Amino acid sequence: MTQAPLPQVGRTATFTVRAPASSANLGPGFDSLGLSLPLYTTLRVTPQASTEVVPLGHGLSSTPANESNYVYQAMLLAARRAGRPLPPARIEIESEVPLARGLGSSAAALIAGIVAGNELLGRPLDHAAVLDVAAREEGHPDNVAPALFGGIVVATLDKLGTHYVRLDPPAHLGVTVLVPDFELSTSKARAVLPREYSRADAVHALSHAALLAAALSVGRLDLLRHAMQDYIHQVWRAPLVPGLSDILESAHEHGALGAALSGAGPTVLCFHDTRSDTGRLHTYLHGVMTRSGLTGQVMDLPIDLAGTVVACPVEA
């Protein structure tokens, strides 16, 4: 995370907060592994005498232009953790992150809001506290941690707090996402999961998540396909995401290093080697969409390294 220098008593002039999208789980790392992607939610915050919440652009037309907005509620969380009232401000919100697609739009809004609230208050919360407030609110740290720190993050949340390790992505690791044109709320996609798992499923999940984290940390791209196997969530969510089973089974035959449902879906993530052409993978993913009766976008993206960035526009 990058922060512009702070005046002594919080911010009195306009500042911006930019938080990235994220892809959580990466297969078996359910609720614990995620990476940051360069699509951004940006807040422009101007301290003034009263509060105004202004969502901008078509993508946010369904979000409220008042204090019930999730971004403003996130700002209040920072104030509550700091034990201080939130100073009033005009908050303009823009987002490139499509809502309810499994790309962490809610995590980007949450992190951006908490960081903006913290700035208005004079930064009483350190990075660990910002992460902890966000992880507790979201209920899992796998989107909010990469949204805050960038890169690839392995994180845990329990009653002792939120703990994490941030990894720089291995060389030559690129991401291709298939983003369908339909929404799937995270709460709906969590509701289909079983409450209990067998010991065999637990051992499968923890061994593959551990292998995946180790492979990502030492750059063993050859292990990704095997390590990304998962029976904790994808199999249950597959009926909600047409084409997912096909991609999990066959994407490696079309140039993917591994594939997973992105977060709770419906976006699907494939890893690719940035030294190879992804044309074959794109053709395959478009074919899956056509066969599944879907429309959507296929995009190659690098992994975002910066995480959340606070800046002061020159004119401020």
Ligand X SMILES: N[C@@H](CCOP(=O)(O)O)C(=O)O
Ligand Y SMILES: Nc1ncnc2c1ncn2[C@@H]1O[C@H](COP(=O)(O)OP(=O)(O)O)[C@@H](O)[C@H]1O
In the annotated binding site, the residues are 98-108
Q: How many chain residues bind ligand Y (CB under 6 A)? A: 21
Q: Does 284 bind ligand X (CB under 6 A)?
A: no
The bridge status of strand 152-158 relative to strand 258-261 is unpaired
* Residue 140 interacting partner from ligand X, ligand Y, none (CB closer than 5 to 8 Å by kind): ligand X
Which residue lies nearest ligand X, judged by its C-beta? 263
The burial class, CB within 10 Å (0-12 / 13-18 / 19+), for 58 is exposed
Q: Does 188 bind ligand X (CB under 6 A)?
A: no
Q: Does 16 bind ligand Y (CB under 6 A)?
A: no
d(CA 270, CA 262): 9
Contact 13, 4 (CB under 8 A): no
Q: x/- binding map, residues 207-226, to ligand X, per CB under 6 A?
A: --------------------
Q: Does 76 bind ligand Y (CB under 6 A)?
A: no
The burial class, CB within 10 Å (0-12 / 13-18 / 19+), for 286 is middle
Q: Does 23 bind ligand Y (CB under 6 A)?
A: no
In the block, which residue shows the tokens 């044109």? 181
The bridge status of strand 15-24 relative to strand 2-3 is unpaired
Find the binder of ligand Y among 32, 69, 162, 308 (CB under 6 A).
Answer: 69
- Concatenating the DSSP letter of every residue in 19-63 gives EEEEEE-TTT-TTTEEEEEEEEEEEEEEE-SS-EEEE-SGGGTTS
Stretch that binds ligand X, among 25-33, 42-50, 294-302, 304-312 (CB under 6 A): 25-33
Residues 200 to 259 in contact with ligand Y, rule: CB under 6 A: none
Contact 118, 130 (CB under 8 A): yes
Q: x/- binding map, residues 26-45, to ligand Y, per CB under 6 A?
A: ---------------x----
| Cβ-Cβ contacts under 8 Å for 161 (sequence gap 6 or more) | 128, 132
Q: x/- binding map, residues 87-126, to ligand Y, per CB under 6 A?
A: ------x-x---xxxxxxxxx-x-----------------
Interface with ligand Y by CB under 6 A: which residues?
Answer: 41, 60, 63, 69-71, 93, 95, 99-107, 109, 185-186, 263
